[in-house]
Amino acid sequence: MAEHVRVMLTEEEVDAKINEIGQRISKDYAGRQVHLICVLKGGSFFLCELAKRITVPVSLDFMSVSSYGGDTKSSGIVKIVKDLDDSIKDKDVIVVEDIVDSGRTLSYLLDLLQQRGPKSLALCTLLDKPERRVMDVKVDYTGFQIPDEFVVGYGLDYDQRYRNLPYIGVVEFD
Ligand code: IMP
Ligand code: MG
């Protein structure tokens, strides 16, 4: 089956929004250092673009998680595939994500990170699908709220493809 991608948010729209978020974070964290945590792989494109627009000192770390399959998935338990390299104790941490969907992954992850004693813990997501939310998650910085459609691009994949698109789109089948 042939497929094509319908553009939902153009590269210019996404860039402008990331500029805005970068400015807000720089202002909110004035005089401090922010420690950005990227959730691989989806968050990586957004993280790089965002980090370049933050004017306060920035440090970075990466983690990779996967949902347990089957019955346990609904419990929101996620497995840490790659943990952070550095301690987050007493740091001003911002978790950078591609999308908050059901909220299961982030809800689990934020609880886990909170237990490690950061000075502060915030969540920044490029996309938010509020209609799909199952777990309550407090999002501090949101790029775009989008309708309940499966999107790709800017780090988001469909079967590992399309992460490299410089815009956000919806896969459609011809
Ligand atoms: P959660 O349902 O909020 O736990 O989202 C888990 C993960 O599902 C996200 O971090 C994405 O990697 C993936 N995901 C959710 N919605 C989409 C989508 O529309 N396109 C691609 N990946 C998605
Ligand atoms: Mg993700």
pLDDT tens digits for 44-82? 999 999 999 999 999 999 999 987 654 444 556 788 999
Sequence-separated (6 or more) residues with CB below 8 Å from residue 23: 53
Domain spanning 12-148: which CATH class is it, in words? alpha beta
Q: Is 44 a pocket residue for ligand 1 (Cβ < 6 Å)?
A: no
Domains of the chain by residue range:
12-148
Please count the other Cβ atoms lying within 10 Å of the Cβ belonging to residue 148.
9
Specify whether 101 is catalytic. yes
pTM score: 0.94
Q: Report the pLDDT averaged over residues 138-150.
A: 97
Torsion of CA 143, 152, 51, 124, to 10 degrees: 40
Which residue type occupies 148? D
Per annotation, catalytic residue among 101, 136, 148, 174? 101
Pocket test for ligand 1, best of 81, 95, 124, 156 (most atoms within 8 A of CB): 156
